[in-house]
Structure 1
Amino acid sequence: MADNELSIKQVEMSESVKKIYISNKFFITLLICLSVYAVFYLIAANHVEGTEWGWLSILPTVSVLGIAIFSRRPFESMLAGVLAGLIMINPDNIITPFSDSVSSVMGDETIVWIILVCGLMGGFIRILEISSCLNGFTEWLKTKIHSRRQSTIATVLLGAVVFIDDYLSCLAVSSSVKKLTDYYQVSREKIAYLIDSAAAPMCVIVPISTWAVFFAGLLEENEVAESAQGLNLYIASIPFMAYAWLALLIAFLVGAGVIKDIGPMKKAEERARNGHPIPPDFEGSELSNKSKAKRELKMPIQLFNFFFPVLLLIASTVYYDIDLLKGVIITCVVTISLYYIQGLLSFEDQVDALFQGFNTMLYPLSTVIGGFLLKEINDQLGMTEFIIETATPYLSQITYPAIVFVLLSLVVFGTASSWGVFVIAIPIVIPIALHLDVHMPLVIGALLSASAFGSHSCFFSDSSILASQGAGCSPMAHAFSQFPYALLGAILAVFAFLGLGYMYA
């Protein structure tokens, strides 16, 4: 009886300690929020209206990074950064500007496209899963892949092959391989890193991707290239995309075990080898579920039911001028019809799966939207212009490509906008390059490398969020584990651009 009473008292004490901890954490969080508000209010109060913000423009982004590292909650961190920026702009009226910013971002065609693409991709993958086709593909892979190293190399190869769009690569490839890598006890952090490292770099390098279409059009709009010649300039810049090439090479070397696990990745791999590939801080739901197939199919039919929709997705995306939204709509319609005709899944189950896929993607999508909100605030504060103009006095023909890469990498990393930031940056960067007579394909290569690094390394960028969601780990676990490898690629890229700048001077 005494032992039982003692254990009951211990439980009561632990519960009371937990309540005190939660209460204290709430008050600490509230105190931090009030302090942050006070600091940014004072900044706004001392700012002369009509003058530029200068170095103060980077403070909201710095606060996002600091809060994210502390809280490991990317969406909440970005929301805090957005509110900090709004306080700087107008401390007496936050609600109306915030509402206007949300309305502006949610009404943007790009955001609507992202929401529909990611939601439908989530639904498509869910349909593949409940049909047992993904399981069939995994079992088939097991007959071809016989070691842990082979499974990681295969992950990089699959990510590199699906180069049409980084969203497609991050979601489809990760969902296809993670059961295989779980079997060989590979951490989900490593899968997210390998796929993310293959996604953005390959989309930059291969000139038939969404990235190539967007940037070629942007070069023509800014008269960097003549009409209908934007893609030619883009292709000429491919050999100079140093970071993309290096990131892909490093991913292959990590997958092959030549470059060893370091830092957080080493801890994640040790955990996976002990039978826990999924990190403990992953709170989201995975794009997977038990099979709802009405009958068991033979392996050849399962493989057909997997490969046909995936190949149709790629082919239809290319057919519609690299538009993944049109491709995934066609693919969902055909896949649902195919599985229904086979008597594999009911129409109701497949429609439910589409909505479940949308639901699974809600938190990643909210984080991506938060990134767009932060970018809009940074644009109002003039952060991009400040960073570029600050470095202008130190430019030369030799150092220009390297400096462009470093500066735009920082901007993209801080804003998570691997595309939108270049709408602002190109009209500033290109005239300076023309004035210094820098080899234009080299400058474009530096710009695209910066875009790839920012998309790859930023913990709240769209591709990083989707890679972590697809692989089944938290965005912060993915960010911390992959950053040393991304930083290695960036450092090597700086030296590469310095060498190329000297060669073409």
Structure 2
Amino acid sequence: MKNKKTKIALISMMIFLMSTVMAFAEEVDIAQVNADKYGFLTLIPPIVAIVLAFVTKNVVVSLALGILSGGIILNFAGFNIFYTIVQAFLDLVNRAVGSLADPWNAGIILQVLAIGGVINLVSKMGGAKAIAEALSKKAKSARSAQIITWFAGLLVFFDDYANSLIIGPMMRPVTDGMKISRERLAFIIDATAAPVAGIAIISTWIGLEVGLIGDAFNSIGVDQNAFGVFLSTIPFRFYNILILAFIVITALLLKDFGPMRKCELQARRGGQVLEDGDKLNEQISKEHDDLEPLEGVTPSVWNAIIPIGTLIIAALIAFYYSGYTAIMGSEDAATIAIMQNSPISFAAIREAFSNSDASVALFQSALFAGIVAMAMGVFKKMFTVAQGIEIWIDGMKTLLITCVILICAWSLSSVIKELGTAKFLINYLSGSIPAFTLPSIIFVLGAIISFATGTSYGTMGILMPLAIPLAYSINPDMSYVIVSTSAVLTGAIFGDHCSPISDTTILSSMGAGCDHIEHVRTQIPYSLFIAAITIVFGYIPAGFGLPVYVVLPLALIAVFVGVQIFGKSVEVEQE
């Protein structure tokens, strides 16, 4: 009996120890462990993906090889190379499946496809052509066409994905008619997507941004209104503001530099392209114009205004409803009271948008807009119900490659996260620094991480818990902390805007009908130019304590002067 009791006690102790070890294992930060273990090797997947994207000009292959390289590192089995490669391939498949299994990602894929269907319906109903003709009357020149595109991008402020997918197809015929390159159009779309959504007071971004700010202040025991801090950072979001100003300045002056100028000159000359420095070839477009209406259909702007207007209004309603139901199902008594007592107040709308599921809301609105567009087409006897569904599905087909690229980008982000790439960068680059340089260093860190990982959300989530406590420990003055906080938010935007593996960059190139690698290649010099001005004329003076009403005009003047110095005219004589 005694022996039996001893065995039971030993078994119980073993179970307790195993459960303790398992619980401890769950608490271990795998990313940090891998960052310490692999060191510089954690940089291989993003470097492989980015370098190959430029070399091969094939995004899918580049992303896939980047994922495989990460899988090889994680599953390395010594001399058994064959086993390592097989495991890396299986890891790639599992990550792709896992990406689609994520509800947020699935919602993004569905809304991309659904919006593609809506755009195709609008096109076949003659709405896109009518809008293009109406806008072309306003767009009398390349200048006005670019300004109109920029302004249209500002109007779709609530979500960067919606911006990229709506503005591109709508403005493409207008900019084509004014001989503006697809690369320039993609740049304008991209620069009015994440940079606008990131500073909008009501958008799908604000929930994450305000939430991260609040958590960071709570972690150091400082009572601050997170939304108030967010509002205070807006004037210091130099990269966002300067890239928007840069579009207007270069459009009005008709000046470009770097690869973008070559593309603009090529477009102005009617499609000629300079290759290998010597050989001048005419670029002949053989692609079918998907914006042409069905035969016998009379173009009408209402065939675009009603479906696209439905998409935007339904999206805003869906955001509110999604956030409202999430809040009412939570245990946050204060927020619930706001929704109950003043459901249409600014505070209520802000909270609803902050708590909404953007991917689902956008899919709901795109699906509803598609139904409205089909109903219009059937009612006006443009097509039958069966034909309308076929047109809707054909529109989805054009964006299948976008979905493939998105899945690959998410899978690469997954392997980068597990390897601890971002944590390695932070640990390696962090250290004792002068106070005035902290905002600039945070911006650079955010830019590097977001460019390497292609995600602004992930970058914000990594840096915000570190930046606010660090800034507060160096200088507890709130103005200094706010500048450092803004550096996190705008540094993360840099990568979202120009990284070749960023969702928004991918969608912008697709929306503009531009080769993705060409979009990235022509856009990066502009992004780096604005990033340099952001640091030199923005965050360094702000780090010294200069007020924003001095710093921001100074930075804007620097952008104008820089364009005058480096930019050259893209106007050519008409033959």
Residue 145 of structure 2 is aligned to residue 151 of structure 1: yes
Separation in 2 of the partners of 1:362 and 1:284? Answer: 20
Structure 1, 343-352 or 493-502: larger mean CA deviation: 343-352
CA contact (8 A) 1:188 1:471 kept: yes
- Counterpart CA distance in 2 for 1:469 and 1:382 is 30
Structure 2 residue 137 is the aligned partner of structure 1 residue 164: no
Taking the TM superposition and a 5 Å limit, the aligned residue runs for 1:28-427 are 51-91=36-76, 92=84, 93-220=87-214, 229-257=225-253, 260-276=255-271, 288-292=290-294, 295-296=297-298, 302-321=300-319, 323-427=361-465
What's the CA shift string for 1:249-298, capped at 9, x where partnerless? 1111122225x22121111112212222999999997882432265425x
Match of 2:495 among 447, 454, 459: 454
Tell me the matched-pair count: 453
Deviations 1:42-84 (A, max 9, x none): xxxxxx9995222221122112222111101122111111111
Residue segments in structure 1 that go unaligned for 5+ positions in a row: 1-47
The superposition leaves residues 479-500 of structure 1 with CA deviations (integer Å, 9 ceiling, x where unpaired) of 1111111111111111211111
Tell me the amino acid that sits aligned with residue 57 of structure 1: T
1:471 aligns with 2:509: no
- Looking at structure 1, the residues matched to 295 and 218 of structure 2 have their Cα atoms a distance apart, in angstroms, of 54
Distance in 2 between the 1:326 and 1:233 partners? 32
Letter in 1 for 2:264: E
Distance 1:285 1:235, change over 3 A: farther
Deviation at 1:406, TM superposition (A): 0.4
C-alpha separation in 2, matches of 1:49 and 1:312: 47
SS in 1 for 2:484: helix
Q: Distance in 2 between matches of 1:262 and 1:383?
A: 33
Q: Which amino acid aligns with 1:354?
A: W
SS at structure 1 position matched to 2:256? coil
Work out which of the two has the higher radius of gyration on C-alpha atoms and give 1 or 2: 2
User: Once structures 1 and 2 are overlaid, which stretch shifts more, 185-194 or 347-356?
Assistant: 347-356
Distance 2:230 2:288 in 1: 37
Give yes or no for contact 1:130–1:292 (8 Å, CA) kept in 2: yes
Read off the aligned partner of 1:62 and give its amino acid letter: I
Shift of 1:216: 2.2
State the 1:377 CA deviation.
1.2
Distance 1:150 1:196 in 2: 18
Taking the aligned partners of 2:440 and 2:286, their CA distance within structure 1 comes to: 39
Closer/same/farther in 2, CA of residues 436 and 228 from structure 1, 3 Å limit = closer
What code does the residue aligned with 1:468 have?
S
Change (3 A) 1:477 1:339: same
The equivalent residue for 2:541 is 499
TM-superposed CA distance for 1:426, in Å, is: 2.7
Q: Deviations over 1:159-191 (max 9, x none)?
A: 122212111211211111111111111111111
Say if 1:503 and 1:51 are closer, same or farther in 2 by CA, change over 3 A: closer
Q: Does 1:432 align with 2:470?
A: yes
Aligned-pair CA distance for 1:387: 1.1
Of stretches 343-352 and 477-486 in structure 1, the one that deviates more from structure 2 is 343-352
CA distance in 2, matches of 1:281, 1:75: 24
- Check 1:503–1:441 CA distance in 2 against 1; reply closer, same or farther (3 A cut): same
Give the direction of change, closer, same or farther, for the CA distance of 1:472–1:284 in structure 2 (3 Å limit). farther
For residues 224 and 281 of structure 1, what CA distance do their matches in structure 2 show? Answer: 57
Cα deviation 1:415-446 (Å, max 9, x = unaligned):
11121333333333333233223633222211
Tell me, yes or no, if the aligned pair for 2:126 and 2:303 is still in contact at 8 Å. Answer: no
Deviation, structure 1 residue 236? 2.0
Tell whether the 8 Å contact from 2:68 to 2:89 is kept in structure 1 after alignment.
Answer: no
My pick for the range that moved more, 338-347 or 368-377, is: 338-347
Pair 231,448 (structure 1): closer, same or farther in 2 beyond 3 Å: same
- The corresponding residue for 1:486 is 527
Secondary structure class of the residue paired with 1:207:
coil
Structure 1 contact 196–456 (Cα < 8 Å) conserved: yes
Distance 1:81 1:252, change over 3 A: same
* Distance 1:49-1:342 versus aligned 2 partners, 3 A rule: closer
The Cα of 1:120 is off from its aligned counterpart by 0.8
Whether the aligned pair in 2 keeps the contact of 1:287 and 1:360 (CA below 8 Å) is no
Instruction: State whether residues 294 and 343 of structure 1, in contact with CA within 8 Å, keep that contact through their aligned partners in structure 2.
Output: no
Mapped contact 2:126–2:297 kept (Cα < 8 A):
no
Distance 1:282 1:326, change over 3 A: farther
After superposing the two structures, state which structure 1 stretch, 456-465 or 230-239, moved more. Answer: 230-239
Helix, strand or coil at the partner of 1:53:
helix
Aligned residues of 1:187 and 1:277 also touching (Cα < 8 A): no
Give the secondary structure class of the aligned counterpart of 1:393: coil
Q: CA RMSD in A?
A: 2.7
* Paired residues of 2:467 and 2:488 also in contact (CA < 8 A): no
- For the 8 Å contact 2:127–2:303, the answer to whether it is kept is yes
Show the counterpart of 1:6: none
Q: Provide the residue aligned with 2:568 in structure 1.
A: none
Partner of 1:41: none
Deviations 1:123-145 (A, max 9, x none): 11111111111101111112222
Relative to structure 1, is the Cα distance of residues 331 and 440 closer, same or farther in structure 2, using a 3 angstrom cutoff?
Answer: farther
The alpha-carbon deviation at position 118 of structure 1 amounts to 0.8
Kept in 2: contact 1:64–1:77 (CA 8 A): yes
Please state how far the C-alpha of 1:154 moved relative to its aligned partner: 1.2
In structure 2, runs of 5+ residues without a counterpart are 1-32, 77-83, 275-281, 320-352, 354-360, 548-575
What letter matches 1:393 in structure 2?
G
Q: In structure 2, what is the Cα distance between the partners aligned to 1:286 and 1:124?
A: 18
Question: Which shifted more, 472-481 or 229-238?
Answer: 229-238
Judging changes above 3 Å, is the alpha-carbon distance between structure 1 residues 61 and 307 closer, same or farther for their aligned structure 2 residues? same
CA distance in structure 2 between the partners assigned to 1:287 and 1:427 by the alignment: 48
Which shows bigger deviation, 439-448 or 71-80?
439-448
- Measure, in 2, the Cα distance between the counterparts of 1:459 and 1:76: 13
CA positional deviation for 1:475: 0.6
Q: What is the distance in 2 between the residues matched to 1:320 and 1:227? A: 32
